[in-house]
Amino acid sequence: MEIVRCFVCVALGDEARRFLEIYVSGLRKCAPSIRWVSVAALHVTLKFCGEIPVETVERLSENYAGALRNVRPFRLSLEGLGCFPDLHRPTVLWIGIREGLENLVSLYDRVERASVSSGIAPEKRSFSPHLTLARIKNPKDMTSALSERIRESAAPGFSTAVSEAIFMKSRLTPDGPIYSPIRRYAFQNGKTP
């Protein structure tokens, strides 16, 4: 039986990626030893489905199409930096979302309902929309310079249009995951703000 590792996300457009490439390069200089996510791979995860049979992937693809019908484009803006679980025991460095939170929560609810109706286990954690910038395996790699940037936690001052969700396949490699779209769901019924 063929198994596919997959998730549903909101990806960023080219303009947002260009902005984040510059923004993240400044952060990388503060802590070069941590594992930085490729800017091309940055996204807001709506649902991680895990490793599932290809038949379930096909069913999910159709159910997501129904769940994401009539979604309007919206704007998303970035907020300050933070760490999961916290700054004292960091494992993930993230950038938060300010504008567009209600839209993302609505998308999450639609995707979660479609996932559960397709046999995917419901999410146990509350939805916390963010972009994962880096993974921190060794807390010693977290420098005081990066910790200071996180404490400042200023919004980078960038806003972008969101016009689609993507059902994404994820293949793990030693150099990091490789993502490829299974299906794209374009948002309709109005112009992108």
State the catalytic residues.
43, 130
CB atoms within 10 A of CB 126: 6
> Rounded to an integer, what distance in angstroms lies between the CA atom of residue 109 and that of residue 106?
5
Cα–Cα distances (Å) from 119 to 44, 57, 124, 170, in that order, read: 22, 11, 15, 19
Phi, psi dihedral angles at 60 (to 5 degrees): -60, -45
Sign of CA dihedral 24, 25, 29, 34: positive
Phi, psi dihedral angles at 7 (to 5 degrees): -155, 165
- The interaxial angle of helices 54-67 and 101-117, nearest 10 deg, is 130
State the SS3 of 136-171.
Answer: CCCHHHCCHHHHHHHHHCCCCCCEEEECEEEEEEEE
Question: Which residues share a beta bridge with 52?
Answer: 4
